[in-house]
Structure 1
Amino acid sequence: MNTSLTDMLDRAFGHPRGLLGRFGGSVMAYGNGPTERQVVDIAKPAGEETVLVIGPGPGVGLRYAAERAGLVIGVDPSAEMLETCGRRCADAVAAQTVRLRTGSAAATGQEPASVDIVLTVNNVQLWQDRAAGFAELVRVLRPGGRLVLSAHEKWLPVPRHVLAGEAEEAGFADVQTWTWQPPGALASTAAQLRAYRPAD
């Protein structure tokens, strides 16, 4: 793949920014929407639970989670995506049930043991350091808290069972992994993972 095409794809989908980033956000909202909602359904946020969404992109899953949880925090390195999330979730942001901040899987800005659920869809392949990312997510989860991760299987940097092993090495327990076929003729198979921070 040539350099200019790689840069365009990164601006649209990898690290969305500018006009291409806004276009990429629209594509992601449509293409990732079913998976975003399915991941929230797996996690089952409820009541006063706090959900941390890593890389919420255009905010489809973040808004869906906010309809169920007490507080949802979206962390994304892209200013374009945070702005889009803010528009999509404007009412929840105004009600302070959704908070948005710049960050990443490895640097969430959260206090230790401060969230009940972590969700991440189609961005683990972009983490610069997966070991640091998984370690950070263990750190911010409360004992017994859960992680639900989904990614396009074809874009995973390692096989999903290796990814599960990396989560276990970081301190997660009861790690399960499977594949899911999102709806739509063009949708690609998702590799998914659920894991828990051990209870104290």
Structure 2
Amino acid sequence: MASKLMKALDVAFGHPRGKVGEFGGRVMAKVNAKAEVHALDVLRPRPDEAVLVVGPGPGVGLRLAGERAARAIGVDPSQVMLDEARTRCADLILAGKVELREGTAARTGQEPASVDAVVAVDNLQLWDNRPAAFHELFRVLKPGGRLVVSVQRWALAVSESDLIAEAGAAGFTDVRTSLQQHGGVLPAAVLLLADVPA
């Protein structure tokens, strides 16, 4: 019974696909909204910047990034979530402010030093290879770039000090974490902030 539940949750939220994934996307758009807003507020994208959104899911944070930055690029491995984000950001895509592509934290498809900031909300626990992902995100960030990652504490299988060490090993500096409470139904989230040396 537990394995069936875990499989259903994975289809809805972990690796969304099919109608169940579409339903999961609608739930994520509501439940994660405060965390998405908070992460973008912390990131503070400027109007002249390019922002990479890792795992934008249904596109709530991607839309915010596209409204605040010069350009927002969303990479997600789920075709269902790319479709949801494409619908939510249709006007910004048409205006050339949002771009979507299939990808992951470890395989973004971005050129080296091509974005000013990276944000990821509630998907770090799904990264297949965190050290490789941190290296990739460091690679695509420009000198002086910044990283903001928010993830539910209960979903993490590692400690915050492990995350700090992994990001530091990839080259990030001033890596720090804090606990954030977004209210609503979600428990506290870990917020990881890191910089690329200028």
Same structural fold, with TM-score higher than 0.5 when normalized by the shorter chain: yes
Separation in 1, partners of 2:29, 2:161 = 28
Give the fraction of aligned pairs with identical amino acids, expressed as a percent. 54
- The residue type paired with residue 169 of structure 1 is A
- The answer on 1:171 being equivalent to 2:171 is yes
Separation in 1, partners of 2:61, 2:11 = 21
- The answer on 1:149 being equivalent to 2:178 is no
Q: How far did 1:93 drift?
A: 0.5
Separation in 2, partners of 1:2, 1:182 = 28
Separation in 2, partners of 1:15, 1:163 = 22
1:85-164 mapped onto 2 (5 Å cutoff): 85-164=85-164
Secondary structure of the residue aligned to 2:110 is coil
Which consecutive residues of structure 1, in runs of 5 or more, have no partner in the other structure?
none
Secondary structure of the residue aligned to 1:81 is helix
The aligned residue for residue 79 of structure 1 is: 79
CA deviations over 1:38-94 (Å, ceiling 9, x no partner): 000001001210000000001001111111100000000000000000000000001
Is 156-165 or 72-81 further displaced after alignment?
156-165
Contact 1:51 1:73 in 2 (8 A): yes
Separation in 2, partners of 1:3, 1:180 = 30
Which consecutive residues of structure 2, in runs of 5 or more, have no partner in the other structure?
none
Q: How far did 1:3 drift?
A: 2.6
- The answer on 1:53 being equivalent to 2:53 is yes
- The residue type paired with residue 195 of structure 2 is Y
Contact 1:47 1:70 in 2 (8 A): yes
- Shift >6 Å, 4+ stretches: none
Separation in 2, partners of 1:110, 1:75 = 10
The aligned residue for residue 4 of structure 1 is: 4
TM-score, normalisation: structure 2: 0.98
Tell me the number of residue pairs that the alignment of Structure 1 and Structure 2 aligns.
198
- The residue type paired with residue 196 of structure 1 is D
TM-score, normalisation: structure 1: 0.97
Secondary structure of the residue aligned to 1:58 is coil
The aligned residue for residue 66 of structure 2 is: 66
The aligned residue for residue 188 of structure 1 is: 187
Secondary structure of the residue aligned to 2:148 is strand
Separation in 2, partners of 1:128, 1:49 = 28
Contact 1:153 1:160 in 2 (8 A): no
The aligned residue for residue 22 of structure 1 is: 22
Separation in 2, partners of 1:116, 1:138 = 11
Q: How far did 1:161 drift?
A: 2.0
Secondary structure of the residue aligned to 2:68 is coil
